[in-house]
Amino acid sequence: MDPTLLVILLGIIEGLTEFIPVSSTGHLVLAGALIGLPPGSETFDIVIQLGAILAVVVLYWRRFYDVLFGLLARDAGAIAFTRNVLVGFLPSAVIGALAYGAIKRMLDSPIIVAIALILGGFAILAIERMRPRVITRSVEGIGWRTALGIGFIQCLSMIPGVSRSGATIMGALTLGVERRTAAEYSFFLAIPTMMGATTLALWKARHTLDTHNMAAIGLGFLISFVVAMLVIRWFLSVVTKHGFAPFAWYRIAAGGIALVWLLQR
């Protein structure tokens, strides 16, 4: 496949899947297995996720603006918002740095992705069926213990195929956070989490990066940004009306097809 078309395809996959609970990394790994990406593409997969993260910053710029000036004015809501995002990020920052090598090795195993997609789909269906009682209806209203618990659950997404958004959203639901709030908290938590992961990936790969690599990363970044801008609002509308079950069934189907293909190739 033409290298430029390949970068565009991967950027679209990233933008489509970063914020819905189907695992963007898992889809990129499976796409790599299908297409036959060269070694070292893991860094590209991680870094272009920042394009999707930028979409959150743009779409929620007003909220971040209010939080920034709220912090300057020592507003309790702004302080709680910032605390919850930072506390939720802390476990992945520590565990991700310590387990970087093991995480990177798992990116070479598409079978792990397929199995994680299937198991994650059944987990989502089970949590949706349980329908835990709603305790919290705003990001600011999340207690620091709940935020820390969600942060630890997010670490499950270091297994490719689990889904960072899926882990954080389902973790938030089980801890009593309302659906839309759980989804938005997942968006906000993605910003420091993916910035940290990208910084670490770039630092580890600093000796292998060149102008060509950076140009490809830049194009993938742009494509994922544009696509994610369109997906986020659609995702929130689907979640509000239908919950997360449609994404669970998709995971089970996609994971099952991928597993059959991987075992037969």
Question: DSSP character for 38?
Answer: P
Render the burial of 164-179: b for 16+ CB within 10 Å, e for the rest: bbbbbbbbbbbbbbbb
> What's the pLDDT at 41?
57
pTM of the model: 0.87
> What's the pLDDT at 212?
57
- The 3-state DSSP class for residue 186 equals helix
SS3 content of the chain, % helix, strand, coil (to 5): 80, 0, 20
**Separation between Cα atoms, residue 16 and residue 112, nearest integer Å:** 21
**Interval 136-163: pLDDT, tens:** 999 999 999 999 999 999 999 999 999 9
**Interval 77-94: pLDDT, tens:** 999 999 999 999 999 989
| Contact in structure between 18 and 223 (CB atoms under 8 Å) | no
CA distances from 74 to 69, 78, 189 (A): 8, 7, 21
| Contact in structure between 148 and 171 (CB atoms under 8 Å) | no
| Contact in structure between 31 and 9 (CB atoms under 8 Å) | yes
**Interval 11-29: pLDDT, tens:** 899 899 989 999 988 998 8
**Separation between Cα atoms, residue 216 and residue 230, nearest integer Å:** 22
The residue with tokens 């990406």 is: 37
For residue 136, list its beta bridge partners.
177
Question: DSSP character for 143?
Answer: -
> What's the pLDDT at 248?
96
**Separation between Cα atoms, residue 149 and residue 171, nearest integer Å:** 8
Dihedral angle, C-alpha 226, 58, 189, 180, nearest 10 °: -90
**Separation between Cα atoms, residue 160 and residue 85, nearest integer Å:** 23
What is the band of 203 on the pLDDT scale with cuts at 50, 70, 90? confident
